[in-house]
Amino acid sequence: MSFDISLLSLVRPLEERKSNSSMEHYSTSTMLSEVTNIQEKDIALEEDGKIVGWVSYHDLVKAVVDRWKRTLSYYNTLLGSVDDAITVIDENGVIQSWNQKSEEMYGFTAANVKGKKITSFFETESVVLMSTINDRKGVIKQYNQPKPDVHVLINTSPIIVDDEVIGGISVERNITEIVKLNDELSSTAASLHELERNVQNEQSLSPFSKIKGRSPVLQDALHLVKKVSKTDATVLITGESGVGKELFAEAIHKASNRSDAPFVAINCGAIPTALIESDLFGYDQGAFTGAVKGGKKGKFDAAKGGTIFLDEIGEMPLEVQVKLLRVLQEKQYYRVGGTNPLPTDVRIIAATHRDLERMIEEGSFREDLFYRLNVISIFVPPLKERKEDIPELIQLFLQEFSIKYKTPIPEIDPEVMYMFLQHPWQGNVRQLRNIIERLIISADENVRIEPKHLPQNFVKQLLPTIELNETSIPPTLENDNEIVHALKLTYGNKTAAAKLLGISRATLYNRMKNFK
């Protein structure tokens, strides 16, 4: 229902009015909220210059009280139903409303805070609502830290009546766990990279040792990576999800003259839009309400002298893209709320699975930033284009997860190897790794992995591919090179090679007898 009503709904016939006292005059289209000058008088309703009825002062007051009760009921129900903390203050900063989510988030009951100034419970600089009232301007999804251990995204609006600010309202969403998780992940990732670097130094491993595969397309990509590693050029790594773009970024860093400095990775698609700028560049004290005293360093500070890896760069908001462009152009940046430029000595490597050129056409990615990032472009080929690497990757993952779960390394049935080689692998190396881990966990000890152990959805995805390939398999082999190639693909597994070639195992053995 509407919170407002028409005066016409309260009208009485003129003949019922016995008093001769004067009345206030309004048109029949007037709403209750439009009666701005309520006096202790009845109201005459006019239409086309004629009085058609009247509203008694008693009925007017009764209607106002009824609307107020109904509005209050809606208001209180709304406060209790919203899954965010809601605070309402008057123009002096006195708390008028404080819902249950606010109680849970801040530990103050409504009974304790209502009627008291909000600055009695929060530092003045942490109260966005006060600046909203003073500036007559709200904020949308602004990051705020009202308490040292509480992080929120806040929306605020001034409450205005007749062009006068009478208060303000804030709606705060708790993102404390997201912020803490992001900090923990960043810290853990940094520790892991440092540990890997130390292990690599001790074992004298190649910086590229984690990139497995001997396929020509992969080797071409690695050749370019090795050349780029010796420079400080900005690199853009492209490729489908799951191909291992971060491995390439790590390899570039480890093989560079920055290898002793930090490698800091940040996923631009995993951080809330309101946090990404301060996460990258940090912020100065007083940069925004709730800013930690003394400010906070960002990822560019943490990566000083080293490399910062911006994964999923296509997910970066346009307003942050502008700031990143400045870093690439001027080799300096500003912290959020800061006025002093800070020089940066950081190599930038970006990666994406998205078509940035199409995003430029759509207006969701800056063209100037694209060309700044795309100094050197490295395409990591999908697994479907380097299927000869699949057997090696399978053996690698079998060893990894057998050690992890303390089980013997199982044997792979030739039929399974054949199915792996024919699969489209939409999820690429990540999908293959996950499949092997699942097989290690689900298979019984000392039982080789057979087709029955494969997930149903894996087999469903495979069937159309197998049917298509088998119809195109030649009935005879033109030369022995095809057999040699098939044996290389299957790491010498003759049953899988025969299946791949579309011939029987006996035919394969007969052809192999003729090898010189």
pLDDT for 293: 56
pLDDT for 220: 93
Q: Is 178 left (phi over 0), alpha (psi -120 to 50) or beta?
A: alpha
DSSP 283: B
pTM above 0.85, yes or no: no
What is the 3 state secondary structure string of 1-59? CCCCCEHHHHCECHHHCCCCCCCEEEECCCEHHHCCCCCCCCEEEEECCEEEEEECHHH
Q: How many CB atoms lie within 10 A of CB 399?
A: 12
Element containing residue 174 per DSSP (H, E):
strand 164-174
Under 8 Å between Cβ of 454 and 375: no
Task: Extract the tokens encoding 372.
Answer: 């700044």
Under 8 Å between Cβ of 247 and 210: yes
pLDDT for 345: 92
Contacts of 42 (CB under 8 A, 6+ apart): 17, 19, 21, 23, 24, 54, 55, 56, 57
CA distance 363 to 505: 56
pLDDT for 286: 55
DSSP 336: B
Picking from 330, 353, 380, the residue whose alpha carbon sits closest to that of residue 268 is 353
CA dist list (Å): 28 to 44, 254, 287: 9, 80, 53
Phi then psi for residue 85, to 5 deg, are -80, 125
What 150-156 contacts at long range (C-beta under 8 Å, 24+ apart), as own/partner pairs, is 150/105, 150/106, 150/174, 150/176, 151/175, 151/176, 151/178, 151/179, 151/180, 152/85, 152/105, 152/176, 153/272, 153/274, 154/128, 156/128, 156/129, 156/132
Q: 């509005």: which residue's tokens?
A: 71
10-residue stretch averages of pLDDT, the chain, 516 residues long: 80 83 88 83 89 90 89 86 88 90 88 89 77 86 77 87 89 78 59 56 68 90 93 95 93 93 90 82 64 71 93 92 91 84 93 95 94 94 91 89 87 82 89 91 76 75 47 48 72 69 75 66
CA distance 20 to 9: 23
pLDDT for 193: 56
